[in-house]
Structure 1
């Protein structure tokens, strides 16, 4: 089934000019076309309208630390939503990793740095569908844009025939997104599937 994601502004590649009223045509798990909405609107696809900036998915370089060292508290624990660094019993590591992955999706993350050595974490990452890439294990936060540019944290540009991994943010431009951070994520699409949508 074809889905056309229309956004106020489309960023196919942060090093190229943005496309006002742009769209990404998704066929299954892949990108079928990108460009101005007017050029793609006759594709016979279901249309999702997004009021914001659509960008390629982000890479969080702190994935190993966030999922194997930090603890992601359950909302019922009333400890907040930021990762904590207490000692976590092995039996709670899988649940913590799953919560961490959900929170990463809520920041437009579609790839994260590993390696993941704990079996419960490795299983959670594999099941999530996020792409794991080599990393350093450095400590850091959920927001890959904290102190970074969009160009430095995009996992890969949107390309025709490539995997449909992208995010939509409540921002009108790249500069505004870099100022506000990835916490303004409205939606994250991973392999063509809408896995996160802000309520």
Structure 2
């Protein structure tokens, strides 16, 4: 297995754990209930996709293979034992860069409860400590206010706009890029977040 994987990260009622094939029913139901909430932010393919969509099992197998290779950490987000979203650490790069990107989504029925800042802080600390990465970045569409609030609460630096960065809703969309380096949170991001809220 790759460095830092598999991992289970917990703080209070928030738990990050590997996404599993047996999550299929809960994950698919959650995505269906949240289709309108998530569709404006979901990446699309600029190349027409033909043939049947991959099954959930194939989706999880692909993510698991990427995790074993050390390129991705595909976490399910549980809150009080209920699957409520997903957080993926991707583009993990070592060498002179030692960086990764974090992407996430959460169900609308639990949005605004502080689940996602805790989940992102747990994953970021894991990247800095277990993976010994130097930099974590998060890219967000400028219109996505709930997601922007997550990085604002956590104190990620706004590094500006990346024009036509990601294909979403059949067009190339601008994103704002936010980042944090390990030196900025020697006490840990989760500890800093909790101290700021106290």
* More helix as a share of residues: 2
TM-score range, shorter chain: under 0.3
With a CA cutoff of 8 Å and minimum separation of 6, indicate the structure with the bigger relative contact order: 1
Q: Structure 1-normalised TM-score? A: 0.27
